[in-house]
Chain A
Amino acid sequence: MNWISNYVRPRINSLFSRREVPENLWTKCNKCGTMLFHRELAENLNVCTSCDHHMAITPRERFGALFDGGIFTEVEVPAPVDDPLSFKDQKKYPDRMKTARKGTGEREAMLVAEGEIGRTPIVAAAQDFSFMGGSMGMYVGNAIIAAAERAVQTRRPLVLFSAAGGARMQEGILSLMQMPRTTVAVQMLKEAGLPYIVVLTHPTTGGVTASYAMLGDVHIAEPNALICFAGPRVIEQTIREKLPEGFQRAEYLLDHGMLDRVTHRRDMKDELVTILRMLTGQPPAVKGDLPAPEMVEETPVEAPADPAEKAEKA
């Protein structure tokens, strides 16, 4: 490994992966309705500057802001069998995949990367709700296993950002089998004595919540994120009564003992660094923006400014 593979290549990659500036420069907050200038919104990590509503953020944007200097290296995820069941509903599964790939520019619903946060080496995995609802199929399972294996191999903690409507129905039973599969991945980390932190983001539901998202050493959620097994609509249909305000939202789960913390996206990085450094017996981190690794003199790359409106669609 040298500085070309460690620093220059990911930097080039992240430059190329930047998407074009959207024509529509304004995004409407889907909570308070304020019109937000896209650059300002991106700088605020897709959190409304007026009401603090946390809008969706793609894994790439998130990693850009999370890792020191926006620098990270993707961890390779083994490709699963395409369309294992030859699934067809109103559309064919491969066609749905094509649409999702085109719409997001991503290969699948999870991105795995390694890098440093507050000079603390970690492996991170983030689920992409804009890619078929972040749904968990073979690929997401493979991604979590790859992330855990990489973490064990390099003795780094794993931070996982969950966001999914649940299992990917188009992969039928194989998507259900990701519950035990990803659980084995979590066990690898635990047995290696490595921290596994889950950041639950909006929304985390179904089989995802009922497996790796609820097995962390520490559970942190973003404000107002919907976190549940069965969705509110299903429950209302079952029990035929109105659910209380804020039901299954992050703050509600915190009150009911399912989470350790609810943390603003802006403070997430510092909090992760603080927790991870304590768990791994390292001295406190130097606060504030750190310069990029010293062998390179350039200024760090900014978080890729991504069209906020695209994220909002999710």
Chain B
Amino acid sequence: MTNYLEFEKPLAEIEGKAEELRALARANEEMDVEAEASALDKKAETLLSELYTDMTAWRKCQVARHPDRPHCRDYIEALFDEYTPLAGDRNFADDHAVMGGLARIGDIPVVVMGQEKGHDTKSRIERNFGMARPEGYRKAIRLMDLADRFGLPIVALVDTPGAYPGKGAEERGQSEAIARATERSLNVKSPVVSVIIGEGGSGGAVALATANTVMMLEHSIYSVISPEGCASILWKDAEKMREAAEALRLTAQDLKELGVIDRIITEPVGGAQRGRDETIAAVGRALEVELKALMKQAKGDALLKARREKFLKMGSKGLAA
């Protein structure tokens, strides 16, 4: 069962018709519908590639949040060997919105971490929809400490609507935890690579995306505020999210042009949710290339300095109007 997005409705109709025809044919052996059905398939294919060409920012937001997109856990399972989860912030709790531990990618031992949104109701609740509490950021800090101490590269997979806006989270210092996590990643001597695989939601994302190399999947987003939030503040109308999404320049393509990210990883036609394995493999290849490149430069605090320098310089140019 495919979960169609709102803008994919015409596609759903065509694919539905083709499916119906084939079902009819299965029930009645004398019917020959294959020609008609393949014509519909073809039409669907063309439409899909049209829908995914020059997408508006709001459509990208929908794709980035698609429930069938591969999530952090899927990448870790598929790309890493000997994944050994490490838990807890040694302070208050273990936050399931942030997962991470030791693992190997190829033969490189690394610390891998990321926000996990969950894939069904139960796991989504357990993962708090990928919205971390201070414990999650403090766990990330611990993992970074570990990586730094033993010279292991860090791979961070970013996928979060944002840090959790809850009472306990505030009481336990959400701001401080995020600030410290960002600070920690700017103090790490080993290579840090981040991939925004879905949603890069504001401060909750930045704490895991302060990396030497920041990559984004083609249809992922990274923004200071959600388009809905921005619309309700600046337009005083949350329904203006399309306009807000456009204005915020939150697509991978715009962010590349602004110099905020370093590389875009192409998704299959129809988005990562239609080609999960392909997408995961593409991320794996990009990670290996970037990690190897950074490991060559990792002498003393060269990478630490380069990371700080990169962020200091960021924003010196705008987008061409």
Contacts and interface: CB of A to CB of B under 8 A. Distances in A.
Contacts of A247: 167, 170
Contacts of A138: 315
Interface of B: 163-167, 169-176, 178-180, 182-183, 186-187, 202-203, 206, 210, 222-225, 230, 233-235, 243-244, 247-250, 255, 258, 260, 308, 311-312, 314-319, 321
8 pairs of A and B residues whose beta carbons are closest in the complex = A84-B318, A230-B165, A209-B175, A89-B234, A210-B178, A176-B224, A229-B175, A229-B174
A175 B321 CA distance: 18
Contacts of B319: 84-86
A263 B131 CA distance: 34
B224 A89 contact: no
B315 A80 contact: yes
Given A89-B234, A235-B170, A172 B223 contact: yes
B174 A174 contact: no
Interface in A215-254: 215, 227-230, 234-235, 238-239, 241, 243, 247-248
A313 interface: no
Nearest to A89: B234
Interface of A: 80-90, 138, 141, 145, 167, 169, 171-177, 179-181, 183-184, 186-187, 206-207, 209-215, 227-230, 234-235, 238-239, 241, 243, 247-248, 256-258
B316 A81 contact: yes
A141 B174 CA distance: 21
A213 B175 CA distance: 9
Contact of B243 (A89, A206, A227, A239): A89
Given A187-B187, A247-B167, A176 B203 contact: yes
Contacts of B178: 179, 210-211, 229
Given A174-B314, A181-B315, A256-B173, 10 more contacts: A81-B315, A87-B247, A167-B225, A173-B258, A183-B210, A209-B179, A211-B203, A212-B179, A247-B170, A256-B172
24 contacts: A85-B249, A85-B318, A85-B319, A88-B247, A89-B230, A167-B202, A172-B247, A173-B223, A176-B202, A180-B206, A180-B314, A181-B315, A183-B182, A186-B183, A209-B175, A210-B163, A211-B178, A211-B182, A214-B175, A214-B180, A215-B180, A248-B170, A256-B173, A258-B175
Contacts of B171: 256
Contact of B249 (A172, A186, A215, A241): A172
Contacts of B316: 80-81
Contacts of A173: 222-224, 248-250, 255, 258, 260
Nearest to A191: B187
- Most A CB within 10 A of own CB, among B225, B230, B255: B225
Given A210-B179, A211-B182, A229-B175, A184 B224 contact: no
A230 B174 contact: yes
A238 B203 contact: no
A81 B258 contact: no
A86 B321 contact: yes
Contact of B203 (A84, A229, A239): A229
A229 B170 contact: yes
Contacts of B235: 89-90
Nearest to B172: A256
Contacts of B170: 228-230, 235, 247-248
Contact of B224 (A80, A169, A181): A169
Contacts of A212: 179
B223 A187 contact: no
B318 A145 contact: no
Contacts of B234: 89-90, 169
Contact of A258 (B173, B243, B244, B308): B173
B312 A184 contact: yes
A167 B201 CA distance: 13
A153 to B, nearest CB: 16
Contacts of A179: 178-179, 182, 203, 206
A309 to B, nearest CB: 25
B203 A181 contact: no
B104 to A, nearest CB: 28
Contacts of A176: 202-203, 206, 223-224
A214 B314 CA distance: 22
Contact of A174 (B243, B312, B315): B315
Contacts of A248: 170
Contacts of B165: 229-230, 234-235, 238
Contacts of B225: 167, 169
A177 B311 contact: yes
Contacts of A243: 167
Contacts of A81: 315-318
Contacts of B258: 84, 173-174
Nearest to A84: B318
B314 A177 contact: yes
A235 B64 CA distance: 24
B186 A187 contact: yes
A215 B312 CA distance: 17
B260 A145 contact: no
A157 B221 CA distance: 39
Contacts of B247: 85, 87-89, 172
A86 B308 CA distance: 27
Nearest to A206: B203
B233 A169 contact: yes
